[in-house]
Amino acid sequence: MLQENGGEIEADGDVWELFPVEDSTDRKRISRTANHIVRETEEARQWPEFPATAVAIAANGTGDYLILQPARQASGQLLDEVFLWNHETGGVTPVDVTWSV
């Protein structure tokens, strides 16, 4: 994710826009990373049934998100597995991701 700091991936038969990691090293990078992971996760948490401890890493433009979930509540670490959060059902399912599109 950091290698490109954004971009696209494929998962569950759809193309997803990865959220960048905030980069405040200069004005140009601040602008390019305005929709960073922390901001987008805060927005996603406004949806009913979005998992409170999930981190949003990508969106498909229809309201669904690819998310990472914590390994344990207090550990601060995330699982390596990527999940799809469906905005219509509130369901979370594991997905295979193609990291290079």
Q: pLDDT tens digits for 73-82?
A: 666 788 889 9
Q: Which residues pair with 87 in a beta bridge?
A: none
Q: pLDDT tens digits for 49-83?
A: 999 999 999 999 999 999 999 887 666 788 889 99
Q: Where along the chain do its domains lie?
A: 8-98
Taking Cα atoms as reference points, which of 79, 96, 69 lies closest to residue 10?
A: 96
Share of the chain above pLDDT 90, in %: 43
| pTM for this prediction | 0.79
